[in-house]
Amino acid sequence: VLQLCVPLNSFGKYYITIQNCIVDLENMLDLLHEKVEIVDNKDATELKVINGDIEFQNVSFGYDPRGETLKNISFHVPSAKTLALVGPSGSGKSTIIRLLFRFYNVTHGSILIDGQCINDVTIKSLRRAIGVVPQDTVLFNDTIKYNILYGRLNATECEVTEAATQADIHKIILKLPSGYETKVGERGLKLSGGEKQRVAIARTLLKAPKIVILDEATSALDTQSERNIQNALNQVCQNRTTVIVAHRLSTIVHADEILVLKNGEIIERGTHQSLMQQDGVYNAMWQQQLQMDELASNEQ
């Protein structure tokens, strides 16, 4: 029996490690489909995050050496400001995020966080500095408390309930059969998409990173829950450098800068107001969204 227990035990450990990785990186990064080959450079040091300032300098990248997925991308997100990435499917939005996490090395140019090139710092310290609220949150088969606590395992019970309150999920949890001790996930109670996203927000609030990535849901939530989740999202972005991969333009009108991407290039950039004054792609996307919203409200 002992001979059987030891390998089973270590399998259990690996299983938990793999599951942790999946929860960390979430669906957005399509972890299971990515070849993760990047390792720390020989002289890598810890990333020192002071302000969470992000800079892309003339970044080009191709998944395949024969083609470029991103071409000459430059932007600067100062501390606590918000950058939104918009553009059609396949334009390169998620690739920008994957490069920020250093899932791949850039082909040309560089990415800096607080002035430090991300190639020169340890991958662990880089990823620790960035929180993600993905569009589809993966939950552990564990209690809802653990699922929130995972953001910072040494947080106190009080901090967990505070994060849940800010993420607008505390009251929902209290109504569950065993409150914070209710088992959720694949084999437990299934939460709705919006509730899972709130768990991710609470988790990120506990982690308290200087940089937050929001991957907006493609599927429209009904307006009331959308409005509620917007408050929770605003909480998580407050005083943090934020990059939003946006699908609904109405959520990014207050972004400090919007980049419109097409085929891996920035074709327009500016604030919502300045982009609306141009008769360009952003303006057309906005008009199209208005029409779609109108159609949807007529159908209701």
Q: Quick one: 34 or 256, whose CB is closer to ligand ATP?
A: 34
Shortest Å distance, C-beta 215 to ligand ATP: 8
Tell me if 179 contacts ligand ATP by CB under 6 A.
no
**157-166 vs 193-207: helix axis angle to the nearest 10?**
130
91 is an interface residue for ligand ATP by CB under 6 A: yes
**Is residue 115 at the binding interface for ligand ATP, with CB under 6 A as the rule?**
no
CB atoms within 10 A of CB 286: 17
* Residues 14-33 contacting ligand ATP, CB under 6 A: 33
Q: Does 92 bind ligand ATP (CB under 6 A)?
A: yes
- Residue 89 CB, nearest distance to ligand ATP (Å)? 3
Tell me the HSE value of 73 on the side-chain side, using a 13 A CA sphere: 34
Q: Is 134 a residue that touches ligand ATP (CB under 6 A)? A: no
Residue 93 touches ligand ATP, criterion: CB under 6 A: yes
**With b meaning 16 or more CB within 10 Å and e meaning fewer, what string describes 155-191?**
beeebbbbbbebbbbbebbeebeeebebbbbeebeeb
User: What element of type H or E holds 103?
Assistant: none
CB 19 within 8 A of CB 187: no
Residues between 180 and 209 that touch ligand ATP (CB under 6 A): none
Distance (Å, whole) CA 277 – CA 114: 33
**Contact between 82 and ligand ATP per CB under 6 A:** no
- Which CB, 18 or 32, lies closer to ligand ATP? 32
Phi and psi at 49, nearest 5°, equal -95, 120
Verify binding: residue 242, ligand ATP, rule CB under 6 A.
Answer: no
**Signed CA dihedral, 144, 146, 148, 150: sign only:** negative
Among 9, 89, 219, 224, binds ligand ATP (CB under 6 A): 89
Which one, 28 or 113, has the nearer CB to ligand ATP? 28
Chain residues binding ligand ATP by CB under 6 A are 33-34, 63, 69, 87, 89-95
